[in-house]
Amino acid sequence: MSDDLKSEVVNTGTNRRRFLQWTLGGLLFGGFVVAANVVLRYLMPTPPRLEKADEVAIPVSQIPPGSSLMLKHQGSPVLAVHTDQGISAFSAVCTHLGCLVKWMPGEKIFYCPCHAGKFDSTGQVVAGPPPEPLHPVKFEIVDDNIIFL
């Protein structure tokens, strides 16, 4: 073997070691970047669910006396009803196991189809398994518009 060839063999060996070192280092660095991204995004504060622009406002005329309206407010279902006592609004989520209740205009009750829970027009439980009244939703009436808060 000539001297030339020998030194080349040695060189190849050194380069392989360097290649592996850089590859390993690169992989570790890549893994670190991915993990740092997860941690940073986890620690960043998340924006609040509802921006001002998402405010729900509907004209009173959309709920004539005796009728009801299901709408989405802050990402959850809300049921507004117009009874003899005026307009009221509740979260439509049943306080038992979370099904959606609906307004029965004939009986003037909220009825939950899942386990036959019944609530009167003020949200109080009148029958069935629900452990507590429907949760009321606050609203204001401004210029014949219902604005949910």
Partner 1 sequence: MFSWLSDLIDRFIDWVHYRTGIKDIVKEQITEYRVPPKLNKWYSLGGLSLFIFGLQLVTGVLLLAYYVPSTESAFSSIQRIMLEIPYGWLVRLSHAAGSHMMIIIILLHMVSVIFMGSYKKPREMTWLSGCALILLTLAICFTGYLLPWSQLSYWATTVATSIPEPIPVIGPFLVKLVRGGDHINPDTLNRFFALHVIVIPAVMLALVGFHLFLVRVLGISGSPDSKPEDQE
Q: Which chain residues interact with partner 1 by CB under 8 A?
A: 22, 38-39, 41-44, 46
In the bound state with partner 1, the residue whose beta carbon lies nearer, of 77 and 83, is 77
Residue 118's H or E segment, with its range, is strand 117-119
What's the rounded Cα separation, in Å, for the pair 24 and 36? 18
Tokens of 43: 């620690």
In the bound state with partner 1, the residue whose beta carbon lies nearer, of 39 and 50, is 39
**3-state SS class at 109:** strand
In the bound state with partner 1, the residue whose beta carbon lies nearer, of 22 and 67, is 22
**Sign of dihedral through CA atoms 87, 91, 95, 96?**
positive
From the CB of 66, what's the least distance to ligand FES, in Å? 24
From the CB of 93, what's the least distance to ligand FES, in Å? 9
Tell me which of partner 1, ligand FES, none is bound by residue 32, counting a contact when its beta carbon lies within the kind-specific cut-off of 5 to 8 angstroms: none
**Residues forming the site for ligand FES (CB under 6 A):** 94, 96-97, 99, 112, 114-115, 117, 128-130
Main-chain phi, psi angles of 82, to 5 degrees: -115, 105
Burial of 81 (0-12, 13-18, 19+ CB in 10 A): buried
From the CB of 72, what's the least distance to partner 1, in Å? 17
Best CA proximity match to 112, nearest among 123, 122, 101: 101
From the CB of 125, what's the least distance to ligand FES, in Å? 10
Tell me which of partner 1, ligand FES, none is bound by residue 94, counting a contact when its beta carbon lies within the kind-specific cut-off of 5 to 8 angstroms: ligand FES
